Structure 1
Amino acid sequence: MLKKYVISNKKLLETDSASAQVYVYTNPTVEEQRFLVDSYQIDEHTLTSALDPDELPRLEFEPEHIVTIYKRPKNYSGKDQLEFKVASVGMFLFEDKLIVVLAEDIPLFVGKRFLAVSTIKEIFLKLVYNSISHYVEHLRIIHMISEEIEDKMTEAMDNTYLFNLFSLEKSLVYYAEAITSNGFVFEKMRNLSARIGFDEKDEEMLDDIIVENMQCKTQADIYSNILAQLLGARASIVSNNLNLLIKKLNVITIWMMVPTLVVSAYGMNVALPMSQHPHAFWMLMGICLILIWLVMIFWRHKNW
């Protein structure tokens, strides 16, 4: 799917005009990929890399354009079962146009950063900036979910919440790796800003991007370390809760065994004491209750 945009009065507007300046290809078909390769001399392998979620971020210089592949968070859905994943985005910066290639349809030009845009290079940088904000938002959500799960695990006795925490910790590891890889690309951009053609304003934005990315990486590392340390502790809590439940069941079982012993003895088909007494049943019930009471006193004395 192709969407075209043009800059008009510092606004980025969708258009069908052939004079469009920004082209967004979402999950391009084979025909669209062939058109990009033939018409814009985009390397076929590079184009495929832009759609590969496992591709490493990188910055490359071609004769007619500059290639940037970076990682961004994928849109989360309930079927992902608390696994937050990353995807690749390819941006091909020409002198008079920007081509963006990605695997899934997401709102790209949203937020206050796109309220006013002037140049293609500014759009290029703001797309990168928005991806960092997307990471920060996902990290905040992951932190909220982990705190909620930790509260629920206090009384939990199964492994469901442990699996949830593991999924979140796994997501944070992937996020930290993606953010780090993006950081290398941003640093390379800064070092080669003159070759790319960034002006002073673009370089200031790129500096802000690098700082925000470093802070995002630090935040991801902190959350990942916290979850990694808590997983062991929470596993111990689940095990301890299970032990407490077994203890309670054993207490109930022993309580039942004491009166059962007395009743079983008087259920034998032989001559027994008080067998002819008119109140023998209630006397036996009383003996059972006294024995249970004595067992309870003994347990309390032992702090069991």
Structure 2
Amino acid sequence: MIIKQTLPGQYDFDYRWYDIYNLDEHDIKVLQTKFQLTTEIIQYITDLHERPHFDHDYITNSDLLVYDVPIWPTSDADHFTTLPIKFLMVDNTLFTIHTPDTTYMIEEFRQKADNDIHSEKELIFAILISVTRYFQRALNQLNSQRVVLDRHLSGTIKNRDLQELAQVEKSLVYLSSSIRTNLMMLESLKNQKSGLHMNKSEEEMCDDIIIEVQQSSQMVKIYNEVTEEISKTSNNILNNNLNNTMQFLTVWSLLLTVPTIATGFFGMNVDLPIFHNPLDWIFISVGTIIVMIALLWYFKKNNML
């Protein structure tokens, strides 16, 4: 689907802006015939696995910028993931290409955007500032989940809490990777040799985005470290509980071995020496108990119980 976009209250664009998602064969033909986009460029913009980067094509005089944005958990993925939004500039036309999952980000930006945008580069940077803040929203949500899980794990550790903690760790890995690559791409834009020549206003906007991404980078780093420590502590507690349980079972299995040996030996259907009295079972039972008590005392004395 190709939608021509405008900002509310701004009608004197010096450029055209088309928002594209759910590309089908008809849309591709329109891009090729109406906008003269090459097959190679269309392959780039339809690739869902493109990593954040900037590329200038000197042959077609076009600029392609790829930027990752966070995707909230769904029924298919119960942790945060990321998907790219692509910005293609050809002459005075800007194309934003993304999936339906990120359409609401573009629409929210369009409704709240500053009207003082005069070029497609300023529009790109304005969108980038808007979508970058979604990383901070995602990180704040993950931090809230982590605080709740930390409180739960301070008591009795349940498998459900550990699974949720694992999902938080997964989410942080995805977000951390995308934030890092986004930052690398933005810093490369500061190099005028990259092909995207910016004026002073555009450079200031780029600097603002870099500051936002750096803040997100620091946040995700801190949350990662805290989450890892919580995970390590929980694993240590679980291992210690398991050791205590195994120690308890081992000690009592040894204690219960004593009456098993005694009853097995004296339960043989043959004559045995020494005992020839109907009350012999009492002496055997008392002797077994004495041996068990002695063994239990030995275990406690040696801190084995």
In which range does the TM-score fall when normalised by the shorter chain?
0.7 to 0.9
Is structure 2 residue 52 aligned with structure 1 residue 50?
no
For 1:72, the equivalent position in structure 2 comes to 69
Shift of 1:247: 1.4
Cα deviation, 1:101-124, whole Å, max 9, x if unaligned, reads 113332123668952431364542
- Two-structure CA RMSD over aligned residues (Å): 4.1
Letter matched to residue 95 of structure 2 = I
TM-score scaled to structure 1, two decimals?
0.73
Does the Cα contact within 8 Å between 1:52 and 1:88 map onto a contact in 2?
Answer: no
Q: What is the distance in 2 between the residues matched to 1:53 and 1:228?
A: 30
Looking at structure 1, the residues matched to 196 and 134 of structure 2 have their Cα atoms a distance apart, in angstroms, of: 28
Distance 1:112 1:4 in 2: 15
In the alignment, the residues of structure 1 paired with residue 234 and residue 17 of structure 2 have an alpha-carbon distance, to the nearest angstrom, of 49
Task: Identify the match of residue 83 of structure 2 among 77, 81, 87.
Answer: 87
In structure 2, the gaps of 5 or more residues are none
Q: In 2, Cα distance between the equivalents of 1:190 and 1:45?
A: 26
Matched, 1:216 2:224: no
- Partner SS state of residue 73, structure 1: strand
- What CA distance in whole angstroms lies between the structure 1 residues aligned with 2:230 and 2:214? 24
The CA deviation at 1:132 is 1.8
Deviation at 1:212, TM superposition (A): 1.0
Describe the superposition over 1:247-282 as per-residue Cα deviations: whole angstroms up to 9, x where unpaired.
Answer: 1211221221122233223322225626413xx555
Correspondence for 1:27: 22
- Matching of residues 1-304 of structure 1 within 5 Å: 1-9=1-9, 22-61=17-56, 66-82=63-79, 84-93=80-89, 97-106=93-102, 107-109=104-106, 114-118=111-115, 119=117, 121=120, 122-145=122-145, 148=149, 152=153, 161=162, 165=166, 169=169, 171-190=171-190, 192=192, 200=201, 202-225=202-225, 237-269=237-269, 270-271=271-272, 273=275, 275-277=277-279, 284-304=284-304
Can you give the 5+ residue segments of structure 1 that lack an aligned partner in the other structure? Answer: 12-19
1:80 aligns to what SS in structure 2?
Answer: coil
C-alpha distance in structure 2 between counterparts of 1:112 and 1:49, whole Å: 24
Measured in 2, the distance between the counterparts of 1:114 and 1:173 equals: 31
Structure 1: how far apart are the matches of 2:62 and 2:230? 47
Structure 1 position 239, deviation (Å): 4.0
Task: Give 3-state SS (helix, strand or coil) of 1:8's partner.
Answer: coil
Query: Using the alignment, how far apart are the partners of 2:123 and 2:285 within structure 1?
Result: 86
The 2-side partners of 1:30 and 1:225 are apart by 46
Residues 26 and 105, structure 1, Cα contact 8 Å, conserved in 2? no
1:113 and 1:126 in contact (8 A); partners too: no
- Indicate if the aligned counterparts of 2:88 and 2:94 stay in contact, CA closer than 8 A: yes
Structure 1 residue 231 displacement after superposition: 6.2
Q: Which amino acid is the alignment partner of residue 301 of structure 1?
A: K
Is the 8 Å Cα contact of residues 56 and 196 (structure 2) preserved in structure 1?
Answer: no
Deviation of residue 95 (structure 1)?
6.5
Contact preservation (8 Å) 2:68, 2:182: yes
CA contact (8 A) 2:52 2:67 kept: yes
Distance 1:212 1:114 in 2: 21
Q: State, as a whole percentage, how many aligned pairs show the same letter.
A: 19
Q: Offset at 1:210?
A: 0.8
The one-character-per-residue Cα deviations of 1:155-182 (angstroms, maximum 9, x if unpaired) are: 6699x948964x6556544433432332
Residue 183 of structure 2 contacts residue 214 of structure 2 at CA under 8 Å; is this kept in 1?
Answer: yes
Whole-angstrom CA distance in 2 between matches of 1:243 and 1:53:
47
Distance 2:146 2:209 in 1: 27
Q: Secondary structure at the match of 2:7?
A: strand
* Whole-angstrom distance in 1 between the partners of 2:191 and 2:111: 25
- Distance (whole Å) between structure 2 residues aligned to residue 233 and residue 156 of structure 1: 11
Q: d(CA) in 2 for partners of 1:284 and 1:77? A: 67
The aligned amino acid for 1:302 is N
Aligned residue identity for 1:69: V
Q: How many residues align?
A: 290
- Whole-angstrom CA distance in 1 between matches of 2:190 and 2:259: 82
TM score, norm. by length of structure 2? 0.73
Listed one character per residue, the Cα deviations across residues 169-208 of structure 1 (whole Å, up to 9, x for unaligned) are 56544433432332233234455599656563x5433221
Q: Which residue of structure 2 lines up, in the alignment, with residue 16 of structure 1?
A: none
User: Quick one: distance in 2 between partners of 1:247 and 1:5?
Assistant: 69
